[in-house]
């Protein structure tokens, strides 16, 4: 029995070691860790929102090409067939040709011939009969081409398209800035939830340790049952907080992965700590600026106002004349009877100039110009209001950053004092100089000070990200000086291989 037991132990140990080796071999793939910079790179390369913005730029560029195509020659090939159902009848009055309705129209006149009356009657009968004209079948095929020579509206439309492309590019930039801000906020929220869970877990461990001490003391008769129950209740009261912290971690992780554009089932692990940012926060505060010229909303307003001014110019160009060159080369054929035979093709060509000078359109052009001018004035007024709003938000954000810096310093000092007070109370409790209530109060004070400390760091980071968004000076990690952008994928994160995108043509 002992030998079998030993063999079983050896077998279990071997399986444990094999499983540990297998898990170690899979660690690079299953426990890939990403920092904030990695999260931003993945989001900028995988986010569907940015892909939509980039495709919008391509779409507007194709719209400009569509406008440019109006300045190029337009060539078409076509054909036409018509069947004569009822031929046109022509009546002619030709003197000297009685059969075609000619002759004298003076019935009372005299002539040398005695049959002048009969001739006039024949002429009237020929005039009433008429002549049918045209053939049964008519074919026409050929090429038609035209090219504008003077087209002021199209020229201004091209400039308007350039302004629209610039606006779309700025909108894509705004989407990137908003995504960077959202990813940073979600990343900081995840760190806050995780570290809050750690602080609450430490509080639970302290309460559980105290409960175990009282249980042991109660077993030997040195502690009452009330003390055991009181410590048990204190421990149970922390368990819902732990559950809430776990849920907060899960939600923050899903939110971050959703913004990154990857599956929420991804095995990626988020590393980092809020306390790491305290080391550089004073340097960051010293570099705070107030230049909001790169604010995305202001830049969009400027570009949209320019586009509206170009719209005014384009509408004014509708008063100008247009000149175009046209040319055609066709073949015609006409025949009687069956349309499938007796073809007689004859080519002909035409070249001409078409000049159009618009004179009056019921006031529609003036109304369009007035509308565009009003829109320009509206954009200018919006610019003033928007600039005042952004300036105020920047100052508030800076004040918020400075306030949180002071709060971090105060909370850090409070954590140190709470830890010292808890150590003193712990030692006093161990020697019986302090009650459990005193110890519990010190534990709660320590927990609250730690939570306040990490919360103040989180508030500082979020305020800094908001200020960065308002100033519009967010920098993509790794692209400060490089001319290429590294876009990590799951393959690069798990295998260590790197892929580099070619720099975009400027």
Average pLDDT, the chain: 78
Query: Torsion angle of alpha carbons 384, 386, 387, 390, nearest 10°?
Result: 160
pLDDT at residue 280 greater than cutoff 90: no
Q: Work out the average pLDDT over 294-303.
A: 89
Q: Which pLDDT does position 489 carry in this prediction?
A: 37
Does residue 225 have a pLDDT over 80?
A: yes
Select the more confidently predicted residue: 119 or 473.
473
Model pLDDT, residue 206:
84
| Least confident segment among 121-125, 186-190, 307-311, 414-418 | 121-125
Tell me: pLDDT of 210 over 60. yes
74-88, 94-108, 431-445: segment of lowest average pLDDT: 94-108
More reliable by pLDDT, 495 or 451: 451
Question: Is the confidence at residue 15, as pLDDT, over 60?
Answer: no
Helix (H) or strand (E) holding 377: helix 364-430
SS3 content of the chain, % helix, strand, coil (to 5): 65, 10, 25
So what's the pLDDT on residue 80?
92
- The predicted model gives 80-88 an average pLDDT of 88
Token pair 């249980």 in the structure block, residue? 215
Residue 294 has pLDDT above 90, yes or no: no
Q: Is the pLDDT of residue 143 over 90?
A: yes
Supply the pLDDT for residue 81: 92
Listed residue (139, 119, 124, 127) closest to 89, CA to CA: 127
Asked if the model's pLDDT at residue 141 lies above 90, the reply is: yes
- Tell me the pLDDT tens digit for each residue of 377-412: 988 898 888 889 998 999 898 888 888 888 888 888
**Statement: residue 144 has pLDDT above 90:** yes
Q: How confident is the model at residue 505 (pLDDT cuts 50, 70, 90)?
A: very low
- Position 491 confidence tier, pLDDT thresholds 50, 70, 90: very low
Spatial separation of the C-alpha atoms in residues 255 and 265, rounded to whole Å: 12
In 261-363, which residue ranges form alpha helices assigned H by DSSP? 281-286, 296-316
Coil, strand or helix: which one is 95? Answer: coil
Q: Is the pLDDT of residue 117 over 80?
A: no
Length, in residues, of the chain: 506
pLDDT given at position 504: 39
pTM of the model: 0.70
Q: Report DSSP letters for 404-425, one per residue.
A: HHHHHHHHHHHHHHHHHHHHHH
* CB distance 330 to 140 below 8 Å: yes
- Determine the average pLDDT of the residues in 449-477: 87
Residue 288 has pLDDT above 60, yes or no: yes
pLDDT at 329 over 60: yes
Residue pLDDT, tens place only, 157-199: 888 888 888 888 888 889 899 999 999 999 999 999 999 999 9
* Confidence band of 247 (pLDDT split at 50, 70, 90): very high
CA 120 to chain centre: 88
Element (H, E) at 55: helix 48-68
pLDDT of residue 120: 55
pLDDT value of position 476:
65
When pLDDT is cut at 50, 70 and 90, the band that residue 213 belongs to is confident
pLDDT reported for residue 478: 57
In this predicted structure, what is the pLDDT of residue 331?
Answer: 93
pLDDT band of residue 284 (cuts 50, 70, 90) is: confident
């Amino acid at each position: 029995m002992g030998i079998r037991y030993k063999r079983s132990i050896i077998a279990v140990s071997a399986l444990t070691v094999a499983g540990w080796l297998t898990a170690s071999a899979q660690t690079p793939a299953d426990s890939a860790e990403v920092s904030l910079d990695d999260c931003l790179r993945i989001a900028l390369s995988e986010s569907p929102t940015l892909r939509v913005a980039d495709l919008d730029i391509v779409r507007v560029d194709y719209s400009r090409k569509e406008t440019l195509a109006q300045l190029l020659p337009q060539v078409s090939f076509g054909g036409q067939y018509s069947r004569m159902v009822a031929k046109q009848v022509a009546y002619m009055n030709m003197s000297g040709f009685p059969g075609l309705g000619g002759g004298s129209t003076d019935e009372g006149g005299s002539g040398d011939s005695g049959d002048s009356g009969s001739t006039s009657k024949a002429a009237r009968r020929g005039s009433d009969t008429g002549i049918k004209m045209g053939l049964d079948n008519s074919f026409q095929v050929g090429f038609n081409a035209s090219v504008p020579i003077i087209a002021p509206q199209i020229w201004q439309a091209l400039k308007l398209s350039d302004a629209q492309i610039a606006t779309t590019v700025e909108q894509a930039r705004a989407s990137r800035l908003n995504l960077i801000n959202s990813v940073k906020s979600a990343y900081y929220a995840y760190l806050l939830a995780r570290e809050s869970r750690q602080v609450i877990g430490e509080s639970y461990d302290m309460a559980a340790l105290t409960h175990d001490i009282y249980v042991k003391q109660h077993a030997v008769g040195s502690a009452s049952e009330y003390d055991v129950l009181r410590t048990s209740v204190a421990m149970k009261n922390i368990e819902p907080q732990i559950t809430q912290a776990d849920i907060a971690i899960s939600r923050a992780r899903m939110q971050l992965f959703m913004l990154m554009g990857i599956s929420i089932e991804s095995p990626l692990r988020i590393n980092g700590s809020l306390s790491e940012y305290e080391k550089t926060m004073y340097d960051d505060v010293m570099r705070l600026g107030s230049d909001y010229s790169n604010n995305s909303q202001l830049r969009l307003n400027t570009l949209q106002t320019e586009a509206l001014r170009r719209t005014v110019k384009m509408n004014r160009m509708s008063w100008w004349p247009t000149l175009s060159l046209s040319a055609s080369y066709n073949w015609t054929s006409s025949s009687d009877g069956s349309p499938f035979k007796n073809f007689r093709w004859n080519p002909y060509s035409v070249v001409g100039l078409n000049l159009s000078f618009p004179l009056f359109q019921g006031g529609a052009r003036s109304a369009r110009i007035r509308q565009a001018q009003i829109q320009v004035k509206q954009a200018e007024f919006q610019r003033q209001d928007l600039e005042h709003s952004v300036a105020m938000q920047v100052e508030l954000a800076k004040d918020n950053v400075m306030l949180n810096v002071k709060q971090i310093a105060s909370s850090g000092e409070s954590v140190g004092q709470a830890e010292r007070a808890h150590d003193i109370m712990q030692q006093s409790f161990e020697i019986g100089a302090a009650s459990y209530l005193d110890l519990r109060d010190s534990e709660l004070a320590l927990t609250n000070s730690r939570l306040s400390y990490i919360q103040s760091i989180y508030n500082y980071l979020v305020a800094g990200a908001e200020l960065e968004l308002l100033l519009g000076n967010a920098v993509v990690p790794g692209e400060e000086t490089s001319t290429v952008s590294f876009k990590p994928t799951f393959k690069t994160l798990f295998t260590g291989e790197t892929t580099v995108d070619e720099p975009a043509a400027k």
